Structure 1
Amino acid sequence: MRFMIIIKASQESEAGAMPSQELLTAMGNYNEELVKAGILLGGDGLHPSSKGARVRFSGDQRTVIDGPFIETKELIAGFWLWQVKSREEAIEWVKRCPNPMPGTEAEIEIRQVFEVEDFGAEFTPELREQEERVFGQIKKR
């Protein structure tokens, strides 16, 4: 099972504050543990929303909204993508994570990633073939 582990933003991360050397070291060590356990597929920190944009869809219309975005508690500061056996295993790994926002309350969200089998009959053999072709090209890079 794949899970996206989402690190919620804080006022400090949204203000562009960089992590301390201590946090970078702790996270680097934690990432090494994840790699040794064979579960880390990817992950990164994100720039503040002031450097981002959203595209709002309304029918055929597209509207670009430049950051920053107001609701900090709904923003993402970083993420990991993990391959684990269960939701419970993902939770146990998150509980071992260093506090991503030292000195404050922080929150990490755990969300399961859809797998091809989850889509049922609507995911036709042609769509499966397309999916394999597209993601096969990405893996070759």
Structure 2
Amino acid sequence: MPRFLTLIRIDERDVPEGGPSPELRERMGALMEEITKAGVMLDTAGLAPTSEGTRVTWSGGKITSTDGPFTETKEVVGGYSLIQAKDKAEALEWAKRFLRVHEEYWTVTAEVREINENC
């Protein structure tokens, strides 16, 4: 079965003070339990804020690094999941279910990409 990486994109400036609500955490926990029991979830996690990150770039034969926060970036990867699904349609359905557990005031984007096993 193919594997899919889902990148969860957020605008760090729009995250509610104190993070996700207890109700969101509860709904998220239930979904994570369901997807794990279904044998689909391989790995998932949230990421530290960009203020704690570093970008390393190779350009012109040189390595440079820049510490966060990255002010020129509006939307950042806030988390990820690695799943094994029968096809892209199933992977997209799980991503949609993940998005639906959020309250309406959240703006969250899920980018679903199949992992190319031949690289």
User: Under a length normalisation based on structure 2, what TM-score does the superposition of the two structures give?
Assistant: 0.85
The aligned length equals: 115
The yes-or-no answer on 1:81 pairing with 2:76 is no
Q: Is the 8 A contact 2:99 2:108 kept in 1?
A: no
- Consecutive unaligned residues in structure 2, runs of 5 or more: none
Structure richer in strand, relative to its length: 2
Q: Which residue of 1 aligns with 2:110?
A: 108
Q: 2:73 aligns with which of 54, 71, 76?
A: 71
Structure ID, larger Rg: 1
- Consecutive unaligned residues in structure 1, runs of 5 or more: 120-141
Deviations 1:81-132 (A, max 9, x none): 00011011101111222447531332111011121xx24xxxxxxxxxxxxx
Q: CA RMSD in A?
A: 1.9
Structure richer in helix, relative to its length: 1
Task: For 1:106, give the aligned amino acid.
Answer: V
User: For the residues of structure 1 that align with 2:17 and 2:111, how far apart are their CA atoms?
Assistant: 21
Task: Please give the residue correspondences for 1:121-132 in structure 2 after superposition, counting only pairs within 5 Å.
Answer: none
User: For the residues of structure 2 that align with 1:43 and 1:93, how far apart are their CA atoms?
Assistant: 13
SS at match of 1:9: strand
Greater relative contact order: 1 or 2 (C-alpha under 8 angstroms, separation 6 or more)? 2
